[in-house]
Chain A
């Protein structure tokens, strides 16, 4: 009996592989991600998944290769005639997927929406808060001729290219198209938008008129599978050729499969607990320090992440430029945490509410639950609210809970990593240190790398010592894929990227 089961099993697996192979040879690629992109509009993309998928549809002016070096895309060349001016020469003869020409007018229209909140409101365009931050120093955008774009900033801004690499360019007509464009985004990228079923899949097809390297696949299906086990199973059965957000518990099993490759890399992302610095109880630094000493980061990285994550030692991931290697993690010291709490006036412990998303970051809910258990040992009673990503994001921006489990990453630019949380104006944790505000400005204006390094290291040290967050760990990007998939791998900026992939 068992023999026949095995034979049937083998035959069926063979058949399924044949089917998968056949679809690969007909030029189709299926991959699975864990998080819903929520939107494919390059201007509104609010997480790495969405702006990296939008990146396949809409080329930005410049891109980042897998070593995060800037490469020209829609902009053929550029220069910086003075510290306040960036000048881009656009590639000629490039068309958007709807036939419109890629001209400076389109670039200007896309950028104007990012820099002018009034314009965005009038045109009913929802703009990503994170990407918008990249352009906060931009004063205006000029299009003196159809192939030249000039960006003038109010103050020198070093990371302009990195910022631009996150923003796909939309056609000029998108400005007035409102929701119609959001429902069917169009750009000048290698793949065209076909359909997006929220929570289910995104389908792209090759853009035959793409100016660059011919897209390797006729059709790309990005399946959205938030459940870890289902996503892993989809890879094992060959339904998809690659998956992101591989749960560490499944790695051994996947590695045992000779047809699969598992790779990981530390990224620009770090995970932490948001703590509301400007209201009780976390406005008291002692309480924040208590939290940091009560967190057993080692247990999380070693046991839950199987050693692939590392305890955080800075308010940004190690792949970020000018990462300060000299800092050390807060020691795990429950006694000290309790002492600090008592000193702060909570001898019998402290209760607070913490939110967490699930399915957004690897093992997010699990880590949040583990954190609740760890904090309990130090006298913290945590009321945990688990929410799906969209709601969680909204509550994060609305600063609803005392604390929240979260993470930040997606760009090697230290300004991108630090300014959103630690600029008093935009901080969702109420962080307010004029010194840091000033240093951040200095950082983007720094004349050279050496000066920038000095500034950013100072910022990191100040932030680290102030403990505005409950620092946890650096998150790895773990992917698993079929051996037949080439030109694919995890990226340090966590982008979902199949632009360079091909199947053999």
Chain B
């Protein structure tokens, strides 16, 4: 088992290295002088030269890359051009907001999707099943920024129940997290239903002799546990969808998270920040993927024995 862990870590490190390389290259293929691009057209030639030295643009590319990676390992992701503060600080400030949003969205998705999926599976082909699954399909097809705008129109503007934007109070968290949860909720609902159907069928065949309600309850409990495992792994992987969704959700609701940070950095050509955000997000992904993988191996008895 330890070999497996080791292999995972090595693989993760390689992937991250690759990511850093891609990010590094991306930022540097911008045509033009990177120092001037960062400081803008109005900066004086001296300031540009100073920046060139400061950021190391005058060094050969491999040296720059080494500097970048070395710095990143130490936690130094460079300096934001626009805000003149360390990128790491900006990330640290924005990250909790995105985390809060993602967690809230996940909780909402779980609370609503799993029972819905179970119910749909148990009452297969019933009216509610069809409705729920149709709703899930639409939920996966809906552009969440559109949903967010519509929610603001209804609950803030027309009804005045909820604040329109920003972060701080619980009321401000409701609409953004509901919006963000949509896709994952739809996916989870369908997944739960599908898994439940499979599991139910298996158990059902084996316990063809329905011994009464008690059996059914046990069946349901077991079914639930078996169905839960893939849900956990899927959730881990939906971090990708959540982060992608967070970018647009944060924009719609003026939520000061990583998504807003990244978007503004892109609009402002603040490349160190863009680099930092992509790198950290990738690291996060690799970490979560790795954990999910290991958790899966550990939890699934069939797999553990392989």
Residue numbers of A with Cβ under 8 A of B are 5, 9, 12-13, 16, 121, 129, 179, 182-183, 197-201, 223, 225, 227, 229-230, 233-234, 236-237, 239, 387-388, 390-391, 393-395, 397-400
Interface: B156 (CB within 8 A): yes
| A397-B40 CB under 8 A given contacts A199-B264, A391-B267 | yes
Q: Chain A residues near B41: list those with CB within 8 A.
A: 394-395, 397-400
Interface: B179 (CB within 8 A): no
Q: Chain B residues near A397: list those with CB within 8 A.
A: 40-42
Q: Chain A residues near B230: list those with CB within 8 A.
A: none
User: Which 4 A-B pairs rank lowest in CB-CB distance, beginning with the nearest?
Assistant: A398-B41, A397-B42, A394-B40, A233-B164
**What is the distance, in angstroms, from B285's C-beta to the closest C-beta of chain A?**
25
Q: How far is the CA of A225 from the CA of B254 in the complex (A)?
A: 8
Tell me the nearest residue of chain A to B94, going by C-beta: A197
Q: How far is the CA of A19 from the CA of B83 in the complex (A)?
A: 34
A199 touches B260 (CB 8 A): yes
Q: Chain A residues near B164: list those with CB within 8 A.
A: 230, 233-234, 237, 239
A233 touches B157 (CB 8 A): yes
Q: How far is the CA of A103 from the CA of B267 in the complex (A)?
A: 42
Q: Chain A residues near B298: list those with CB within 8 A.
A: none
Q: Chain B residues near A390: list those with CB within 8 A.
A: 82, 268
B230-271 interface mask toward A, CB cutoff 8 Å, 1 = contact, 0 = none?
A: 000000000000000000000000101000100010011100
Tell me the nearest residue of chain B to A235, going by C-beta: B164
A236 touches B40 (CB 8 A): no
- If over half of A's interface residues share one DSSP class (helix, strand or loop), that class is named, otherwise mixed; here it is helix
Q: Chain A residues near B157: list those with CB within 8 A.
A: 229, 233, 236
Known A200-B166, A230-B254, A237-B162; further 12 A-B contacts with Cβ < 8 A = A5-B159, A9-B159, A183-B84, A200-B254, A201-B166, A233-B157, A236-B157, A390-B268, A391-B269, A397-B40, A397-B41, A399-B41
Q: Chain A residues near B93: list those with CB within 8 A.
A: 197
Interface: B47 (CB within 8 A): yes
Q: Chain A residues near B152: list those with CB within 8 A.
A: 230, 233
**Which of B41, B46, B256: most chain A CB closer than 10 A?**
B41
A237 touches B160 (CB 8 A): yes
Q: Chain A residues near B40: list those with CB within 8 A.
A: 391, 394-395, 397-398
Interface: B194 (CB within 8 A): no
Q: Chain B residues near A239: list those with CB within 8 A.
A: 163-164, 166
Q: Chain B residues near A395: list those with CB within 8 A.
A: 40-41
A200 touches B256 (CB 8 A): yes
A227 touches B83 (CB 8 A): no
Q: How far is the CA of A137 from the CA of B228 in the complex (A)?
A: 75
Q: Chain B residues near A13: list those with CB within 8 A.
A: 160
Q: Chain A residues near B289: list those with CB within 8 A.
A: none
A-facing residues in B60-92 (Cβ within 8 Å): 82-85
Interface: B161 (CB within 8 A): yes
B160 touches A9 (CB 8 A): yes
Q: How far is the CA of A179 from the CA of B85 in the complex (A)?
A: 8
B267 touches A387 (CB 8 A): yes
B264 touches A16 (CB 8 A): no
Tell me the nearest residue of chain B to A15, going by C-beta: B161
**What is the distance, in angstroms, from A154's C-beta to the closest C-beta of chain B?**
23
Q: How far is the CA of A391 from the CA of B157 in the complex (A)?
A: 32
Among the listed B42, B44, B163, which residue makes an inter-chain contact with A394, where contact means beta carbons less than 8 Å apart? B42
Interface: B165 (CB within 8 A): yes
Tell me the nearest residue of chain B to A394, going by C-beta: B40
B206-248 interface mask toward A, CB cutoff 8 Å, 1 = contact, 0 = none?
A: 0000000000000000000000000000000000000000000
- If over half of B's interface residues share one DSSP class (helix, strand or loop), that class is named, otherwise mixed; here it is loop
**What is the distance, in angstroms, from A394's C-beta to the closest C-beta of chain B?**
3
Tell me how many residue pairs across A and B have CB atoms closer than 8 Å.
83
B254 touches A227 (CB 8 A): yes
**What is the distance, in angstroms, from A29's C-beta to the closest C-beta of chain B?**
15
Tell me the nearest residue of chain A to B149, going by C-beta: A229
Q: Chain A residues near B156: list those with CB within 8 A.
A: 233, 237
**Which of B40, B161, B164, B264: most chain A CB closer than 10 A?**
B164
| A183-B254 CB under 8 A given contacts A230-B164, A239-B166, A398-B42 | no
**What is the distance, in angstroms, from B146's C-beta to the closest C-beta of chain A?**
14
**What is the distance, in angstroms, from A248's C-beta to the closest C-beta of chain B?**
18
Q: Chain A residues near B82: list those with CB within 8 A.
A: 198, 390
**Which of A5, A223, A390, A397: most chain B CB closer than 10 A?**
A390
Q: Chain B residues near A236: list those with CB within 8 A.
A: 157, 160
Q: Chain B residues near A234: list those with CB within 8 A.
A: 163-166
Q: Chain B residues near A197: list those with CB within 8 A.
A: 93, 256
Can you list 24 contacts pairing A with B, beta carbon distance less than 8 Å?
Answer: A5-B159, A9-B159, A9-B161, A129-B42, A179-B85, A198-B82, A200-B166, A230-B164, A230-B165, A233-B152, A233-B165, A234-B166, A237-B164, A239-B164, A388-B268, A391-B268, A393-B42, A394-B40, A394-B41, A395-B40, A395-B41, A397-B40, A398-B40, A398-B42
Tell me the nearest residue of chain A to B164, going by C-beta: A233
**What is the distance, in angstroms, from A51's C-beta to the closest C-beta of chain B?**
18
**Which of A121, A198, A223, A395: most chain B CB closer than 10 A?**
A198
Q: Chain B residues near A223: list those with CB within 8 A.
A: 166
Q: Chain B residues near A199: list those with CB within 8 A.
A: 256, 260, 264
Among the listed B46, B165, B264, which residue makes an inter-chain contact with A225, where contact means beta carbons less than 8 Å apart? B165
B268 touches A182 (CB 8 A): no
Tell me the nearest residue of chain A to B172, going by C-beta: A239
Tell me the nearest residue of chain B to A396, going by C-beta: B42
**What is the distance, in angstroms, from B286's C-beta to the closest C-beta of chain A?**
29
Q: Chain B residues near A121: list those with CB within 8 A.
A: 44, 46-47
Q: Chain A residues near B163: list those with CB within 8 A.
A: 234, 237, 239
B42 touches A179 (CB 8 A): no
Q: Chain B residues near A233: list those with CB within 8 A.
A: 152, 156-157, 164-165
Q: How far is the CA of A224 from the CA of B41 in the complex (A)?
A: 26
Q: How far is the CA of A475 from the CA of B152 in the complex (A)?
A: 30
Among the listed B47, B84, B160, B254, which residue makes an inter-chain contact with A182, where contact means beta carbons less than 8 Å apart? B84
Q: Chain A residues near B47: list those with CB within 8 A.
A: 121
Q: How far is the CA of A183 from the CA of B82 in the complex (A)?
A: 12
Q: Chain B residues near A393: list those with CB within 8 A.
A: 42
Q: Chain A residues near B159: list those with CB within 8 A.
A: 5, 9, 12
Q: How far is the CA of A233 from the CA of B164 in the complex (A)?
A: 7
B161 touches A198 (CB 8 A): no
B138-168 interface mask toward A, CB cutoff 8 Å, 1 = contact, 0 = none?
A: 0000000000000010001101111111100
| A388-B264 CB under 8 A given contacts A182-B84, A397-B42 | yes
Tell me the nearest residue of chain B to A196, going by C-beta: B83
Q: How far is the CA of A388 from the CA of B41 in the complex (A)?
A: 15
Q: Chain A residues near B42: list those with CB within 8 A.
A: 129, 393-394, 397-398
**What is the distance, in angstroms, from B31's C-beta to the closest C-beta of chain A?**
14
Tell me the nearest residue of chain B to A358, going by C-beta: B267
Q: How far is the CA of A39 from the CA of B281 in the complex (A)?
A: 28
**What is the distance, in angstroms, from B155's C-beta to the closest C-beta of chain A?**
10
Q: Chain A residues near B254: list those with CB within 8 A.
A: 200, 225, 227, 230
